[in-house]
C-alpha cells in the first residue's frame, strides 16, 4: 500500500473515531473487496464470505479506538478477517474441503471471455489445490501472493516471528506444489 493511501486511511479512521460514519463508509468501500477476496478463498463459500466481510467491518468499527497508525489499516483489517475466517472454519470443523468450483460464482475482474482455456484450467487447478492444503498454509499464501503483504506484515497479521514466516511460506508452497502435482499427475522431484 502506498503512503498516500495509508494517509487517507488514517485520516478516515480519525474521523470515524470521532463518530463520522461517512468516513467509515469510505473505509468500507475502499477495503471491502480485499477483505472479501481473502475470506472467500479461505472459506470457499460466497454467502458466508459476504456475511463475514460485514462482520469484519462491524468488529473493526468496535475496535477502532485500539487501532494505531503504525499497524496499517489494511493489514489490521486483514488480521481481523483472518481471525474471523479461522473462527468460522473452526465452527464448521472442516477437515476436507469441497472443490472450489461449487462456490466460485463471484464476478471477477479478469477479462473472462478472452482468457484462454489453458489459463482458466490453471486457475481452477490452483483454486482447487488451495482448498486442499491446511488453513495455516492457505492463509499465508493468500496474504503473501494475493494480498502482497511483506514478511513483517505477515508476522504481525499471523502473530508469528519473521523467521517463522519464511519457513512457513516455504512449507506452504511445498504443500501447494504437492497438491498441484497430485492433481495434474506430474512427477515431483
Partner 1 sequence: MNRTCPRDEALSALVDDALGAEARSQLLAHSAICPLCKARLVELRALHDAFAALPSLSLQIDLAPRVLARLQDEAKPAAGTGRHIRWPQRLMETIRRLTIGRIVLSPYAGATAAIGLGLWLGGMLVQLGDTASPPASNATLAAASFFGSIPPGNLCPRAGACGAPGSSQ
- 52/118 Cα distance (integer angstroms): 33
Q: Which residues bind partner 1 (CB under 8 A)?
A: 21, 24-26, 28-29, 32-33, 36-37, 40-41, 50, 53-54, 57-58, 61, 106-110, 112, 119, 122-123, 126-127, 141, 144-146, 151, 166-167, 169-170, 173-174, 176-177, 180, 189
Question: Is the Cβ–Cβ distance between 10 and 75 less than 8 Å?
Answer: no
129 CA to centre of own chain: 16
**Which residues lie below 8 Å from residue 41, measured CB to CB, with a gap of 6+?**
127, 130, 138, 142, 146
Q: Residue 65 or 95: which CB sits closer to partner 1?
A: 65
Minimum separation from the CB atom of position 161 to partner 1 (A): 14
- For residue 122, the minimal CB distance to partner 1 (Å) is 6
Looking at the Cβ atoms of 7 and 170, the one nearer to partner 1 is 170
C-alpha distances out from residue 27 to 17, 76, 99, 109, Å: 12, 12, 33, 21
Provide the minimum distance between the beta carbon of 189 and partner 1 in the complex, in angstroms, as a whole number.
7
Please, what is the minimum distance in Å from the beta carbon of residue 4 to partner 1? 21
Amino acid at each position: 500500500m502506498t503512503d498516500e493511501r495509508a494517509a487517507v486511511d488514517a485520516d478516515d479512521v480519525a474521523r470515524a473515531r470521532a463518530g463520522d460514519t461517512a468516513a467509515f463508509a469510505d473505509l468500507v468501500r475502499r477495503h471491502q473487496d480485499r477483505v472479501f477476496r481473502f475470506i472467500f478463498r479461505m472459506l470457499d463459500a460466497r454467502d458466508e464470505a459476504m456475511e463475514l466481510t460485514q462482520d469484519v467491518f462491524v468488529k473493526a468499527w468496535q475496535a477502532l479506538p485500539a487501532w494505531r497508525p503504525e499497524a496499517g489499516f489494511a493489514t489490521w483489517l486483514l488480521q481481523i478477517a483472518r481471525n474471523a475466517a479461522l473462527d468460522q472454519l473452526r465452527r464448521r470443523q472442516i477437515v476436507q474441503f469441497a472443490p472450489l468450483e461449487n462456490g466460485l460464482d463471484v464476478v471477477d475482474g479478469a477479462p473472462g471471455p478472452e482468457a484462454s482455456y489453458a489459463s482458466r484450467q490453471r486457475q481452477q487447478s490452483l483454486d482447487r489445490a488451495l482448498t486442499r492444503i491446511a488453513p495455516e498454509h492457505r492463509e499465508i499464501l493468500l496474504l503473501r501472493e494475493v494480498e502482497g503483504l511483506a514478511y513483517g506484515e505477515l508476522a504481525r497479521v499471523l502473530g508469528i516471528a519473521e523467521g517463522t514466516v519464511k519457513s512457513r511460506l516455504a512449507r506452504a508452497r511445498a504443500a501447494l506444489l504437492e497438491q498441484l502435482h497430485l492433481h495434474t499427475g506430474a512427477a515431483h522431484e
